[in-house]
């Protein structure tokens, strides 16, 4: 794996100079110049201010008791469109661990990028960050087709927490931003249709246990970048499958999103309901112009059968990015943050002031509220294309919506005829099962471990030969599991360690752990702890409890006591959960994630005095953690200790979650308590409404995706 550079202490301004030169080389390219050149694929440094993703959270975050979600649906939605809504979309992350150790401290860094380029397009990928396509430059005009984030700043929006905005991301497995959006993937070079280099990114998914790949083709002379996606279900059983390609493009008042449909399904973040909307107008605003909505919204297109599937965002001159696919990629979506103060805050929070984006998206299902059943031993594949669309601005921005999208549809057919794309798709399908010429970057070693397990147990190899997962990718995370597989036991660890090691919840490992636990070498706290984790994630609560009690019988650890606290809380016994969590803290290790979970439990139980006292006794480093400070402020307000609360509103919080309103709730609660104490009046609805009128929250803390009408 390549090692990024770091700025030197001797020349603190050196990288700033390099960045300016680099950015200028992109911005100040001569317009309307096209020099014939072969397609190239190369490494380049990608310079920008970047925060560190930080360490993973060592505590396992167990999924909830249900795999499906019950959705509020408009009665007018037909039965055939309801079939899979809510099916297998409930959140889960294990065996991946949460990435919540980042801050908002950025410094200029050089990230590794892979650049795929021909005479028309220059595509820049970050293989160490989920394979994100961060830039797609149309060289003849010098136009950047994507919303290119000028910084790298993780924020709490992904399935594992850390996510960053901009460019094009690739999401599979489960609804949400993918587990590896801030992690390395495998990257390789493949020989294309005309002998040109093709970039392949690929990985083994640890939640559903399947391999996936994307081959990026940019044939010589092509005006579009192709992405050929292939997903394989290697199992003998059906698995739920999900895929959405999320594309960030610049948001301005003159940008309109076009898609080939007359109606859509819109999701209200306020009402939580999926409703049919006739395009383009809904509830008094044109939903195809994202700047006309104060509130955040999703709009899923209801594209009729037989219609070519695409989406585009064009500016006032009729120019912008389009995405089009072969038929298997059915869904299209618009996402907007909304123009409220909270929506604008999110935009600058994810990038910097003055940088705004909207998203156009494409997925396997009609909406993101559903997965699709993927039959056993099958492969799904399709091709997407991205490029510059130029259309008559008077028509596409005119009052006739049907004429607008049909004009774009016709223009797209001239750029990339449907029949031609189908031919490309067939050729890409052949390339997609060819082995690469060379591996450019290693990802994690979990696929190699799975291959090793299957070989040791005499099972078929679940990984296709054309996706190399070399044994060299195996590392320290996989080492304990190799020992279990080949020597019969996990190596023991000291319970005071601050990291018990990578997690494993794949069911096939349960018999190995159970057998090991019956041996002298394997009968230790860590074996039983992992076995309990595996059972808990399989929703076997009683089995998890037995395993964790066996772990405690071997050795008392904070890791096991914490898990038993989570189990007690899941069963509704909050007093027991609080007691166990306190024991976990006292036993150690005393780390910030454990302190936060204990405080959250106490807060849920209304035991605010204990929260306040607990924080005061914490080591300074943990006490200053932003989540600790948030919970402390909540307790201080509840206890009427208001003197130091105001400082909380000066923090630049990093881990505020999408949809979270804890900061604005604290703001209003603080003013209510303050006024009630000063004026000797009760906190009632009249005071609450007064506070919301007189004390609107500062922009810094306002992350509300919608604001109630009375405010």
Cα separation values, 455 from 426, 435, 461, 558, Å: 33, 21, 7, 36
- Count of residues for the chain? 711
CA 273 to chain centroid: 23
Whole-angstrom distance, CA of residue 23 vs CA of residue 354? 18
Counting beta carbons within 10 angstroms of the beta carbon of residue 547, is it exposed (0 to 12), middle (13 to 18) or buried (19 or more)? buried
Cα separation values, 369 from 91, 244, 472, Å: 12, 11, 38
Instruction: Say if residue 17's pLDDT is above 70.
Output: no
Strands 72-73 and 273-278, bridge-based pairing: parallel
Whole-angstrom distance, CA of residue 307 vs CA of residue 293? 28
For position 36, what pLDDT does the model report? 59
CB-CB contact of 58 with 97 (8 Å): yes
Arithmetic mean of pLDDT, 468-476: 97
- Catalogue all structural domains in the chain, each as residue range(s) with its CATH number: 14-431 (2.70.98.10), 485-589 (1.25.40.10), 604-711 (no CATH)
Instruction: Say if residue 343's pLDDT is above 80.
Output: yes
3-state secondary structure of 676: helix
Sequence-distant (6+) residues with CB within 8 A of 420 are none
Arithmetic mean of pLDDT, 472-477: 97
CB-CB contact of 488 with 509 (8 Å): no
pTM: 0.93
3-state secondary structure of 142: coil
Whole-angstrom distance, CA of residue 630 vs CA of residue 596? 10
Cα separation values, 181 from 12, 147, 343, 372, 477, Å: 30, 17, 22, 22, 19
**What single string gives the DSSP state of each residue in 632-659?**
HHHHHHHTT--TTGGGGGG---S-PBTT
User: What dihedral angle (degrees, nearest 10) is formed by the CA atoms of 182, 186, 191, 192?
Assistant: -30
CB-CB contact of 86 with 69 (8 Å): yes
Q: Does residue 280 have a cis bond before it (omega within 30 degrees)?
A: yes
What angle (nearest 5°) sits at the alpha carbon of residue 384, between those of residues 268 and 429?
135
Produce one character per residue of 470-503: b if its CB has 16 or more CB atoms within 10 Å, e if not. eeebbeeebbbbbbbbeeebbebbebeeeebbbb
pLDDT more than 70, % of the chain: 94
Report which of 474, 275, 257 is spatially closest to residue 362, judged by C-alpha positions: 257
pLDDT more than 90, % of the chain: 91
For position 710, what pLDDT does the model report? 54
User: What pLDDT digit, counting tens, does each position of 366-420 carry?
Assistant: 999 999 999 999 999 999 999 999 999 999 999 999 999 999 999 999 999 999 9
Strands 132-138 and 372-374, bridge-based pairing: unpaired
Sequence-distant (6+) residues with CB within 8 A of 500 are 58, 493, 526, 529, 559
User: What pLDDT digit, counting tens, does each position of 614-666 carry?
Assistant: 999 999 999 999 999 999 999 999 999 999 999 999 999 999 999 999 999 99
Whole-angstrom distance, CA of residue 354 vs CA of residue 535? 48
């Amino acid at each position: 794996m390549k090692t990024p550079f770091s700025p030197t202490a001797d020349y603190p301004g050196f990288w700033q100079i390099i960045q300016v030169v680099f950015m200028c080389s992109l911005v100040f390219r001569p317009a309307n110049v096209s020099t014939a050149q072969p397609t190239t694929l190369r490494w380049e440094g990608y310079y920008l201010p970047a925060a560190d993703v930080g360490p993973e959270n060592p505590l396992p975050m167990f999924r909830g008791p249900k795999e499906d979600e019950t959705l509020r649906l408009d009665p007018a939605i037909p039965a055939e469109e309801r079939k899979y809504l809510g099916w297998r979309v409930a959140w889960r992350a294990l065996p991946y661990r949460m990435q919540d150790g980042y801050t908002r401290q950025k410094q200029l860094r050089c990230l590794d990028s892979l650049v795929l380029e021909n005479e028309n397009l220059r595509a820049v990928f970050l293989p160490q960050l989920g394979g994100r396509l961060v830039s797609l430059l149309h060289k003849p005009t010098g136009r950047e087709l994507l919303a290119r984030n000028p910084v790298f700043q993780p924020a709490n929006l992904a399935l594992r927490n850390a996510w960053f905005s901009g460019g094009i991301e690739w999401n599979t497995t489960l609804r949400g931003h993918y587990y590896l959006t801030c992690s390395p993937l495998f990257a390789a070079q493949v020989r294309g249709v005309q002998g040109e280099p093709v970039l392949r990114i690929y990985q083994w998914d640890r939640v559903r246990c399947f391999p996936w790949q994307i081959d990026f083709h940019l044939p010589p002379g092509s005006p579009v970048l192709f992405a050929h996606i292939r997903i394989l279900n290697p199992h003998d059983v059906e698995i739920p499958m999900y895929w959405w390609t999320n594309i960030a493009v610049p948001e301005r008042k003159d940008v309109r999103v076009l898609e080939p449909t007359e109606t859509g399904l819109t999701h209200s973040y306020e009402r939580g309901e999926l409703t049919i909307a006739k395009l383009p107008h809904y509830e008094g605003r044109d939903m195809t112009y994202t700047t006309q909505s104060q509130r955040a919204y999703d709009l899923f297109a209801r594209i009729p059968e037989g219609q070519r599937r695409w989406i585009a965002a064009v500016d006032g001159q009729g120019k912008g990015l389009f995405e089009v696919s072969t038929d298997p990629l059915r869904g299209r979506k618009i996402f907007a943050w909304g123009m409220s103060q909270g929506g604008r805050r999110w935009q600058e929070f994810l990038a910097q002031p003055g940088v705004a984006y909207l998203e156009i998206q494409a997925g396997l299902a009609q909406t993101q509220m559903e997965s699709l059943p993927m039959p056993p031993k099958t492969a799904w594949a399709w091709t997407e294309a991205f490029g510059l669309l130029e259309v008559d601005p008077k028509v596409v921005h005119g009052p006739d919506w049907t004429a607008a999208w049909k004009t774009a549809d016709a223009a797209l057919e001239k750029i990339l005829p449907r029949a031609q794309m189908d031919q490309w798709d067939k050729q890409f399908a052949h390339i997609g099962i060819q082995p690469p010429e060379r591996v450019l970057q290693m990802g994690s070693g979990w696929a190699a471990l799975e291959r090793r397990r299957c070989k040791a147990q005499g099972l078929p190899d679940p990984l296709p030969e054309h996706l190399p997962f070399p044994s060299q990718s195996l590392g320290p995370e996989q080492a304990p599991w190799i020992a279990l597989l080949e020597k019969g036991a996990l190596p023991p660890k000291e319970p005071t360690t601050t990291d018990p090691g990578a997690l494993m919840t794949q069911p096939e490992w349960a018999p190995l752990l159970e057998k090991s636990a019956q041996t002298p070498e394997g009968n230790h706290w860590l074996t039983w702890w992992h076995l309990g984790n595996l059972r808990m994630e399989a929703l076997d609560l009683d089995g998890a409890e037995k395993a964790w009690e066996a772990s405690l019988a071997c050795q008392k650890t904070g890791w096991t006591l914490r898990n038993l606290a989570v189990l007690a809380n899941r069963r509704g016994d909050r007093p027991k959960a609080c007691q166990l969590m306190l024991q976990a803290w006292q036993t150690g290790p005393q780390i910030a994630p454990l302190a936060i979970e204990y405080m959250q439990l106490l807060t849920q139980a209304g035991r605010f005095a204990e929260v306040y006292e607990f924080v005061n006794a914490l080591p300074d480093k943990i006490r200053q953690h932003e989540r600790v400070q948030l919970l402390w402020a909540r307790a201080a307000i509840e206890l009427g200790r208001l003197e130091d609360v105001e400082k909380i509103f000066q923090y630049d919080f990093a881990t505020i979650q999408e949809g979270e309103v804890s900061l604005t709730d604290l703001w209003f609660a603080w003013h209510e308590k303050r006024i009630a104490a000063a004026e000797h009046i009760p906190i009632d609805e009249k005071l609450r409404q007064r506070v919301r009128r007189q004390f609107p929250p500062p922009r810094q803390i306002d992350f509300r995706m919608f604001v109630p009408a009375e405010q």
